[in-house]
Structure 1
């Protein structure tokens, strides 16, 4: 019996040490794991028929959101002179595809600015979590917080695979809506697979075409 207790105690200690080791190493392993699973996430075109969201030619319906501690209903204050790329995405905390997409958009922000096209992103994350992501990656375009899933419901892109109480409840089908200076929806990019996104440069090319701008 005593030997069995010793073996059990030793096994328990080994498991605890293993868990502790994995926990302590997660911070350094996570970027490598995320990079591996997102290595082929980007495509250059929206090639499927999945098409949620407001109809082309309709008015962008606005949002029910917060930004930097204040309520937000319209995104017009962020608009570029030639239009806006509105990116609905799942989470800046736990979704590696969303994080990589938003980081890549930041890398191309100067090119968007040159084209007179603004970038606005929205997630369901608490504002504190959004701000942590913004600070870590130097995001300089607005990331706004959807209040109680109301924006994603209004836009017609709420992912209804999850129910209230589920951790992921409130996420959208990730995608991009192109809004012209008059507030009209002139283009959309939505792929049914959440793990696939149109890359930032291809999105810009698509946005220019949808907005009637020169491809240069």
Structure 2
């Protein structure tokens, strides 16, 4: 992959810390929808846009968030993950990695990029890894944008950040 494979000329401004995360909806593995940021309101949330079930780096990231499930829960942090994958690929990933958090599928890469500033791979079209930590009110605490395979949120950093924010003075 070369830098020219990444569409960025029309990419809007990235989301800023303190700004409201946009309202987005995605089909959810197992049925129903994921409605962001409302499904994460009331507690801290992590939104992970991942490249697809085929990506080894994404598999490692999602598996790490699953392993940290208890620690994330104890810190009051919920996780959702979304990709352009079709339902069968997303469901197979959930089963293979035994993911206990909501996983969305069928995302429109261009629409997500327009709303969040995520990078989009041109051919084949998919979202590059993008992660957000959201405050209980749906505002962005931090955003991590990757233009390629590496550079993404990790659970220990998310837990540490939330604990830091919640610590007195």
TM range (shorter): 0.7 to 0.9
Tell me how far apart the structure 2 counterparts of residues 62 and 110 of structure 1 sit (CA, whole Å): 27
Farther off after superposition, 96-105 or 189-198? 189-198
Q: Hey, what does 1:195 align to over in structure 2?
A: 150
Change (3 A) 1:186 1:196: closer
Counterparts of 1:7-156 in structure 2, within 5 Å, are 53-67=14-28, 68-77=30-39, 79=40, 81-92=42-53, 94-149=54-109, 150-156=111-117
RCO greater where, 1 or 2, for CA within 8 Å and sep 6 or more? 2
Gaps of 5+ in 2: 1-12
Please give the secondary structure, in 2, of the residue aligned with 1:132: helix
Q: Deviations over 1:100-155 (max 9, x none)?
A: 10011100011000000111111110121111111112100011124332233311
Gaps of 5+ in 1: 1-51
TM-score (norm: length of structure 2): 0.79
Tell me how far apart the structure 2 counterparts of residues 193 and 147 of structure 1 sit (CA, whole Å): 18
How many residues are matched? 154
Q: Which has the higher strand share?
A: 2
Tell me how far apart the structure 1 counterparts of residues 113 and 33 of structure 2 sit (CA, whole Å): 16
2:131 to 176, 182, 185: 176
Structure 1 stretches of at least 4 aligned residues deviating more than 6 Å after TM superposition: none
The structural deviation recorded for 1:193 is: 4.2
TM-score (norm: length of structure 1): 0.63
The structural deviation recorded for 1:174 is: 1.0
Q: Which has the higher helix share?
A: 1
The root-mean-square deviation of aligned C-alpha atoms, in Å, is 2.3
Please give the secondary structure, in 1, of the residue aligned with 2:46: strand
The structural deviation recorded for 1:56 is: 1.6
Tell me how far apart the structure 1 counterparts of residues 56 and 119 of structure 2 sit (CA, whole Å): 19
